[in-house]
Chains A and B, each alone.
Chain A
């Protein structure tokens, strides 16, 4: 069995750590690229969302490399993600691509089905080993989030963002390759040590909250490298969704205490949106409130075009914006999005936030960035 699974930002590292330590044979799809998108778009329904198309592209590219089994998550609720796996399975069958699909449904309705699937995958591996592997993968998830948080903080500050990004990629590779937890923390420490010593600008920087649908938030290819663009425009990005928090909420039932859990966002959303609208609609609203409470200068919502939960959230955001006096910008993304249009909107939004900051709230920006 050669197992593969779709990409979502750095998720592949976490899943790889889990599956390889369980002794499974993996074939990873190449990083999501334009070719992935082309393949996925060609065989997907036109109005399927962008994540669906990219997933499909990932499978097809993995199959070329010899993968024969796909590991995919399922879902519940009004978001279409719940039937992705089923539709994708049908599309692959129609294409004559011979791949088996193992769908891990979320354990909301009981763990039995999930444990059966896991048992099927791991064979006669002991449960003790499964737990140990999960712990190891969890450590990698935390480590990745730590270095990424640091990257978002430092990107607007360092004078040479190129070399910061290079260091970040090295750290990610080291975490990926780390055979044990000592090696993981060594990689994190090393990144912290070297990156903080880089020459930096002083002063206060604009902070923008990033909320929205998880795939478009976490996958840089899907969001046209939004965080990088913003960082280079001198903005610190405060992301509302983190891989570790997501794993905790969805797989561990929110048992662990992790920064940025989604339960918190649900509570904050309640004056505006009380019901589960599927996907991360409610968390988007709550995340926007959280950003306002943390004194961010603005909120950017990203979502795949036609994403229903996010459309609901989008229609609620103006009330959040009015109540908290925080500007919001929504970007719907898919393979048709124009890079120039995104860049122009981001630049204009950053100008808008800077103008507001100068005018009232918080006074002047200082440091080498002040004013026009």
Chain B
């Protein structure tokens, strides 16, 4: 079977999605923890895929996204390297073709994407705050000794959610602990926290944007029933959560790679599953060539330089123009 692979390497999770040439999901998506080690997570994901795939399955295109998209792109030899916003919009459009608003909350970043007639017309990402929502919920669930699913569900039992100061997660946490010490019930506190985070998101990320339905809510946090209900209450609208809400970035990357390859009948640049056994070493150094003092990042595969970026003057790129060109051209917007 001809397959297209999408890889989303984020701060919390690394996801891999395989689709067929019709764009339908093939096999179950892989959802792994990044644990601060993107290279290890990518290798692990590929190794797992390699084990599941049948001999006649062929990877015909690869797309990467997420905060480690360039790194992942160089490692696996991606055909297309895309930012998270575009990748999320593409997959949401596939699931809900008339979507007009996408709420996306992941581990570290939260975003809002506004679409009209199937085209992204506006977007915003968290700036000063409203960040780290996923990681924060994770941490609070751990502190209360609940699983993240239980944590979301418990909010639904609230009869009178507590008002929690939600300017940022640090304030929210101290205010929340304060409310606990005062003796409020757990469901009311958790529901209050969900409402505070949603308020904060709508004020700081969605500020001033016209939110029209259909609204799609995706990203890891969409798993939390409490947050879903808080959104429904705050917006007074139905909130759609796609089936594979937590791997929509990877799904979008896979769809983009399929379109890229099929539209131009190109060969994939996928470097094959052999890369799992290669030794990748990233390192960085401050270039002393001129007073600009750029921080150059370098990735070596088994000792040989695979890619370098970060220099302003092109000195390190010129040393190996082809490699750098590859790294740069994959982040081209029209790819």
Contacts and interface: CB of A to CB of B under 8 A. Distances in A.
B291 A33 contact: yes
A329 B67 CA distance: 20
A356 interface: yes
Interface in A247-280: none
Contact of A371 (B83, B263, B318): B263
Given A162-B317, A351-B86, A234 B121 contact: no
Contact of A232 (B84, B259, B328, B334): B328
A234 B127 contact: no
Nearest to A29: B291
A350 B117 contact: no
A230 to B, nearest CB: 10
B331 A33 contact: no
Interface in B262-317: 263, 290-293, 295, 312-314, 317
A165 to B, nearest CB: 6
Interface string A218-230: 0010000100100
Q: Which of B82, B120, B123, B333 has the most CB of A within 10 A?
A: B333
A36 to B, nearest CB: 9
Contacts of B67: 340, 344
Interface string B110-123: 00000001111111
Contact of A233 (B80, B259, B291, B332): B332
A34 B293 contact: yes
Nearest to A356: B119
B256 interface: yes
A162 B291 contact: no
Q: Which of A350, A351, A354 has the most CB of B within 10 A?
A: A351
A356 B291 contact: no
Give the secondary structure class of A's interface: helix
B208 A318 contact: yes
Interface string B185-225: 00000000000000000000000100000000000000000
B291 A234 contact: no
B151 interface: no
Contacts of B312: 220, 225, 228
B44 interface: no
Nearest to B118: A359
Contact of B334 (A33, A161, A332, A369): A369
Contacts of A365: 334
A177 interface: no
B125 interface: yes
Contacts of A327: 121-122
Q: Which 10 A-B residue pairings sit nearest by Cβ, starting from the closest?
A: A162-B314, A348-B85, A350-B333, A347-B83, A351-B86, A30-B291, A369-B334, A344-B83, A352-B120, A348-B83
A111 interface: no
B102 to A, nearest CB: 12
B293 A35 contact: yes
Interface size class of B (residues with CB under 8 A): 35 or more
Given A233-B331, A354-B333, A348 B123 contact: yes
Contact of B260 (A318, A369, A372): A372
Contacts of B122: 327, 352
Interface string B72-96: 0000000010111110000000000
A341 B85 CA distance: 11
Nearest to B67: A340
Nearest to A332: B127
B125 A345 contact: yes
Interface in A16-61: 30-31, 33-35
Interface string A164-204: 01100100000000000000000000000000000000000
Contact of B119 (A341, A348, A355, A371): A355
A352 B123 contact: yes
B167 interface: no
Interface in A313-372: 318, 327, 332, 340-341, 343-345, 347-352, 354-356, 359, 365, 369-372
Contacts of B256: 372
A356 B314 contact: no
B334 A234 contact: yes
A162 B120 contact: no
26 contacts: A33-B293, A162-B314, A162-B317, A162-B318, A162-B321, A162-B324, A166-B314, A233-B331, A233-B332, A233-B333, A234-B333, A344-B67, A347-B82, A347-B83, A347-B85, A347-B331, A348-B84, A348-B120, A351-B120, A352-B121, A354-B334, A359-B118, A365-B334, A369-B334, A372-B256, A372-B335
B313 A165 contact: yes
A303 B110 CA distance: 22
A12 to B, nearest CB: 13
A165 B332 contact: no
A177 B262 CA distance: 53
B121 A356 contact: yes
A349 B83 CA distance: 10
Given A234-B334, A351-B85, A351-B333, A341 B125 contact: yes
Nearest to B264: A371
Interface in B108-155: 117-123, 125, 127
Contact of A359 (B117, B208, B321, B335): B117
Contacts of A33: 291-293
A304 to B, nearest CB: 14
A113 interface: no
B334 A344 contact: no
B321 A160 contact: yes
Contact of A31 (B127, B291, B334): B291
Nearest to A353: B333
B85 A371 contact: no
Q: Which of A31, A162, A163 has the most CB of B within 10 A?
A: A162
A5 B230 CA distance: 54
Interface in B142-193: none
